[in-house]
Amino acid sequence: MPLPLLALAVAAFGIGTTEFVIMGLLPDVARDLSVSIPAAGMLVSAYALGVTIGAPIVAIAVANMPRKKALMSLIGVFIVGNLLCAVAPGYAVLMAARIVTAFCHGAFFGIGSVVAAGLVAPNRRAQAIALMFTGLTLANVLGVPLGTALGQAVGWRATFWAVTGIGLVAAAALAVCLPAKIQMQKASLVHEFSVLKNPQVLMVLGISVLASASLFSTFTYITPILEDVAGFTPHAVTLVLLLFGLGLTVGSTLGGKLADWRLMPSLVAFLLAIVVILTVFAGTMHAQIPAMITIFVWGILAFAIVPPLQMLIVDRASSAPNLASTLNQGAFNLGNATGAWLGGMAIGAGAPLTALPWVGVATSIGALLLTLWSVSIDRRTQKMAVAG
């Protein structure tokens, strides 16, 4: 794999760390800024909404900008956003800084995916995308726990100073490693948005929302599940989450390899396996060892679908891949928020924690059915083309 992919992975590591590390720092942030925990939690929701809303806006703004310049500009926004987080004097400034940082997130992953796919041979495009997203998975394995530990030890602002440093390293790597000229398609705003008239593109976005919701409807509440249902200590929960993060890393690599082999069959198989593993987790969550095994496999499957979906959106929206790929990142984040909301609604309605995997099963079945519908349309279109 060429060095530019490693530079993209470093940037993805920093972006993934800044998105998720705030969850481990909420009590410290709330205490330091004199706000409630729910108010501090809005920093998480605001970031996700910032990705969802900002992704298409930023993608359009940099649509005709040279790809290297666009990526360098986005990592610049990331650096400024995290610097503002580190020096924020109060809650309002911190909230604004989080939203600024979020605006670069979707566009960077969207454009970065297209660039990564274009840097390698056609039969390795999904693997290239997977390598870039490995930075995101490693953020969960290393960046978040280390960032949380740093923030708890010397103050939450130190974590954002560290992430700013990662951004500077990523910017240097991109400046040195990315080729000056990267092939791109220039298009008007109307042309870019016309890709949304393609029902197959909308289906991929829908699959991304449902697949992400199936994960976060349960994973958002994984700590109380592990402590109250499985009986893990808080320290042991950290180790189990590390195991989940390792599964994400394995899954990203596996998903890239299989997607390059057979894209749609791999996606269907992974979604079906997610339905099965969440069903299994509904039973194994009551015992520690079976729960750990199930969570590791779940982690593999949860991120195995990311490279296929990102590759699929690039293929389906070949006339405007940057916008569509960026919108797919917004769809993932919309799924994050939707899944957490569905899980919270279930608990609020009186359902026990043990019922949450079934919420994930329902949404993953929805993603599977939508994928099968998309496959059937593809086959019908191909038959009509042959007949014509």
Whether the pLDDT of residue 1 is over 70: the answer is: no
Contact 164, 83 (CB under 8 A): yes
Quote the distance between the C-alpha of residue 234 and its chain's center.
25
Output the average pLDDT for the chain.
Answer: 87
Q: pLDDT confidence of 66, banded at 50, 70, 90?
A: confident
| One-letter amino acid for residue 14 of the chain | G
What the block records as the tokens of 115 is 């660039």
What is the reported pLDDT for 370?
95
Report the distance separating Cα 311 and Cα 259, nearest Å.
Answer: 8
What percent of the chain is predicted at pLDDT more than 70?
Answer: 96
Q: pLDDT confidence of 58, banded at 50, 70, 90?
A: confident
Q: pLDDT confidence of 284, banded at 50, 70, 90?
A: very high
What percent of the chain is predicted at pLDDT more than 90?
Answer: 40
Q: What is the CA radius of gyration of the chain?
A: 20
Whether the pLDDT of residue 220 is over 80: the answer is: no
Q: Spell out the domains of the chain, with CATH numbers in brackets.
A: 1-184 (1.20.1250.20), 185-388 (1.20.1250.20)
Give the angle subtended at the CA of 111 by the CAs of 210 and 24, to the nearest 5°.
60
End-to-end Cα, the chain, rounded Å: 41
Report the distance separating Cα 74 and Cα 94, nearest Å.
Answer: 19
Q: pLDDT confidence of 190, banded at 50, 70, 90?
A: low
Bin 177: left if φ > 0, else alpha if -120 < ψ < 50, else beta. Answer: alpha
Coil, strand or helix at 14: helix
Closest CA to 322 of 192, 138, 182: 192
What is the reported pLDDT for 88?
94
Q: Tell me: the pLDDT tens digits for 315-369?
A: 887 777 777 778 888 888 888 888 888 888 888 888 898 999 999 999 999 999 9
Angle between helices 234-261 and 125-138 (to 10 degrees): 170
Contact 164, 82 (CB under 8 A): yes
Summarize the confidence of residues 74-80 as an average pLDDT: 95
Contact 226, 353 (CB under 8 A): no
> Within 10 A of 191 (CB to CB), how many other CB atoms are there?
14
Report the distance separating Cα 98 and Cα 47, nearest Å.
Answer: 6
Closest CA to 313 of 136, 117, 181: 117
Which is more confident, 321 or 130? 130
Prediction pTM value: 0.80
Which is more confident, 323 or 170? 170
Closest CA to 75 of 111, 34, 108, 28: 108
What is the reported pLDDT for 373?
93
Summarize the confidence of residues 245-249 as an average pLDDT: 88
Closest CA to 319 of 229, 205, 186, 230: 186
Contacts of 44 (CB under 8 A, 6+ apart): 22, 23, 26
What is the reported pLDDT for 259?
86
